Amino acid sequence: MKTTIKELNDKLIAEFYGRLDTLAAAQTAKDVQPIIDSNITDVELDCKDLEYISSSGLRIFISILKSVKARKGSVIVKNINAEIKKVFEMTGFSKIFVIK
């Protein structure tokens, strides 16, 4: 699992690569900490290369959403595959995240 974060036009973009499972969650949580600590209000979670997400991974997405909402920002999740989309729908995440 690999996570990269970049800033572009006053937006933070996190790109996820691989499987965000329980084993990868601890490191991924550390990797996304700059998003949680930032003052930037527009965040994009690009899941184009994310193959799988577990409940531990979903918790990381929720923590990002909570921190960004607390600073009156927005989080967009984009490029999710069919399997992850199904997980988002079953868990209700499709109702609390903007998915593009």
Rounded Cα gap, residues 99 and 84, in angstroms = 11
CA end-to-end span of the chain:
22
pTM of the predicted model as reported, rounded to 2 decimal places: 0.95
Rounded Cα gap, residues 29 and 60, in angstroms = 6
Mean pLDDT by groups of 10 residues along the chain of 100 residues: 96 98 97 97 98 97 98 97 97 96
Question: How many Cβ atoms are within 10 Å of 73's Cβ, its own excluded?
Answer: 17
Task: Kindly list the structural domains of the chain, giving each domain's residue range(s) and its CATH number in brackets, ordered by start.
Answer: 2-99 (3.30.750.24)
Greatest Cα pair distance, the chain, in angstroms, is 33
Number of H helices, E strands in the chain: 5, 5
